[in-house]
Amino acid sequence: MTDLEILAKNVKRFRLYRGMTQIELASKVGLSSEYFSKIEVAKTGNIGFKYLTAICRELDIQISELFMETAEVNIKFVVSNENLQSMENLIEKITERIDIRFKVDTKKPIFYHTEDCGCAYCKLKKRREK
């Protein structure tokens, strides 16, 4: 993947994460929607630093995050006493459905589905077994 393709993928990923349309973000950074669309499909390589920094400011990210092949979206939670119990219930439900194990050689987690968890992967697996 080229740097331009990585940039395009990350701009789109972070824009969607922020819930913005191309038109909204383009107008906030001072670009036409047509030009911004070309950025997201890696059809233009002439993106000025001024616009890259404006995009980062609007998406609340660092410029280095635009060029990471495996960019991560950090999720920030504001926890209050009122929603703490709801979050604990959600986490408990999630952990009941996923069995997390670690590979000895890599120390990376591997996620195993519990039987009949109802996800798309398990449904497809059931159909294949029939």
Domain count, the chain: 2
Q: Does 109 fall in a domain?
A: yes
- Picking from 72, 29, 27, the residue whose alpha carbon sits closest to that of residue 50 is 29
Cα 35–Cα 36–Cα 41 angle in degrees, nearest 5: 95
Tokens standing for residue 67? 């060029």
52/7 same-domain check: yes
pLDDT confidence tier of residue 123, bands split at 50, 70 and 90? low
31 pLDDT more than 90:
yes
**Parent domain of 95:** 85-129
13 pLDDT more than 50:
yes
CATH code, 24:
1.10.260.40
124 pLDDT more than 90:
no
Tell me how far CA of residue 91 lies from CA of 8, 30, 84, 120, in angstroms. 33, 41, 11, 20
125/93 same-domain check: yes
36 pLDDT more than 70:
yes
User: What is the per-residue pLDDT for 26?
Assistant: 95
Rounded Cα gap, residues 2 and 11, in angstroms: 14
Q: Does 117 fall in a domain?
A: yes
Q: Does 78 fall in a domain?
A: no
Query: What are 45-102's pLDDT values in tens digits?
Result: 788 899 999 999 999 998 888 888 875 555 555 667 667 777 777 767 666 655 544 4
92/122 same-domain check: yes
User: What is the per-residue pLDDT for 97?
Assistant: 58
User: What is the per-residue pLDDT for 119?
Assistant: 61
16/49 same-domain check: yes
Look over the chain and give the mean of its residue pLDDT values, rounded to a whole number.
77
pLDDT confidence tier of residue 109, bands split at 50, 70 and 90? very low
Per-position b or e across 26-63, b if 16+ CB within 10 A of its CB: beebebeeeebebbbebeeeebeeebbebbbebbebee
Last residue of a domain, one of 14, 37, 67: 67
Q: Does 57 fall in a domain?
A: yes
56/94 same-domain check: no
62/23 same-domain check: yes
